Amino acid sequence: MKPSRPASPLLPHVSVSETASLKRDEEFWFEDGNLILVAGDVEFRVYQGPLIAHSPVFNDMLSLPQPAEDSGRRTRHGESSCPIIPLTDSPEDLRHFLRVFVSSSSGKIIRSGQHDPTFHEVSACVRLGHKYQVDGLVQRYVDLLRKYYADNFDAWYRSTLVRPPSFQAVHSIAVVNLARLTNTPSMLPTALMDCCTLGPEIVDGLVREDGTRETLPLDDLGRCFVGRAKMAQASARIAHLMFRPPVSAACRQPACCQRVLQRLLNELGNARDDVISCVDWYASWMVYVDGRDEDRELCMRCYKMLEGERPKKLQREVWMSLPAMMGVTVEGWGIKAKQES
């Protein structure tokens, strides 16, 4: 740990009564800490060094002598070397943020190598990392999000998950907001697309740990309204192209397989609407195929074609226009996708 800077002698004092209603955080209260952060009604006593080293904002707050009338930075009686900084963050958010810099005072090791972060951890660390200009922290979590909210078709197609394992669909609302906050437009098409799969909660938004509600801005809500219809259209388009000729180039019984493909195409009319025009245009068709070719007349080559190469080709075409479907512009989206193929 880097040595902390001495507190400014100009710090004004605050009476104990002003802070009497505050409670000490159970996770972050180091008796020898040299900085008290106040978030909501919780005090965190930590070390200045790591915050100063990683955050230009904390560096500025703690290194510049403050005018005596500035109540934003104070020390308490008997703790003259310990500035108190009130923050506007919630205690829950601040706890996630502090865990990046220090293990808890209760001795529990918080960070040990790879872990699968919760939505709340990711959200808090990106928002507070951005606010306090801890660029490396923001980048770490944005990189993690970009693995799922990808701009690379092949990576996205390979992944069996459309969002991090600990995330729920409603959390994609926050991912849209984080993409905007961090100026990462490449995450917007897939994050908005995930929002389009939501029901009424697309309006209600999600509840953060501190009880506040996070929603989509109205213009993004409008994008989802349009995007959802476009996703259903993409599904319908894929449905009508999936079973067209030709059969697989490697098919050894083309007449038979052609007949089955034709049947699969004809029976689309009898399929449920949510099969043909489901919002998730990337869903597999194999339940539909298996249900209509129970005796497995399709040869293995044609079956594999319907399972893999044909939907992949059709989905790639949809993917290319995904930013337009979602009403956003992403520099290099199409070019990148072309280079991959």
Residues lying near Zn ion in the complex (CB under 5 A) are found at 247, 251, 257, 299, 302
- CA pair distance 302, 287, nearest whole angstrom: 15
- Least CB distance to Zn ion at residue 238 (A): 20
- Least CB distance to Zn ion at residue 241 (A): 18
In the complex with Zn ion, the residue whose CB is nearer, 173 or 302, is 302
- Least CB distance to Zn ion at residue 312 (A): 18
- Least CB distance to Zn ion at residue 245 (A): 11
181: three-class secondary structure by DSSP:
helix
Residue appearing with tokens 């388009």: 237
- Amino acid identity, position 124: A
- Amino acid identity, position 297: E
DSSP element (H, E) containing 310: helix 310-320
- CA pair distance 266, 262, nearest whole angstrom: 6
In the complex with Zn ion, the residue whose CB is nearer, 209 or 297, is 297
In the complex with Zn ion, the residue whose CB is nearer, 82 or 251, is 251
In the complex with Zn ion, the residue whose CB is nearer, 118 or 253, is 253
- Least CB distance to Zn ion at residue 157 (A): 23
Distance of alpha carbon 253 from the chain centroid:
47
In the complex with Zn ion, the residue whose CB is nearer, 257 or 314, is 257
Give the N- to C-terminal CA distance of the chain in Å, as an integer. Answer: 48
Distance of alpha carbon 308 from the chain centroid:
28
Query: Residue 181: which of 230, 128, 118, 235 has the closest Cα?
Result: 128
- Least CB distance to Zn ion at residue 263 (A): 13
Distances (CA, A) of 275 to 3, 302, 310: 62, 21, 17
The number of beta carbons lying within 10 Å of the beta carbon of residue 290 is 12
- CA pair distance 202, 170, nearest whole angstrom: 7
- Least CB distance to Zn ion at residue 208 (A): 53
Distances (CA, A) of 180 to 119, 136, 163, 165, 276: 17, 18, 17, 22, 33
In the complex with Zn ion, the residue whose CB is nearer, 176 or 247, is 247
- Least CB distance to Zn ion at residue 251 (A): 3
In the complex with Zn ion, the residue whose CB is nearer, 131 or 304, is 304
In the complex with Zn ion, the residue whose CB is nearer, 255 or 335, is 255
State the Cα torsion 260-265-267-272 to the nearest 10°.
130
- Least CB distance to Zn ion at residue 295 (A): 14
Could you tell me how many residues make up the chain? Answer: 341
In the complex with Zn ion, the residue whose CB is nearer, 191 or 306, is 306
Beta carbons of 234 and 325 less than 8 angstroms apart? yes
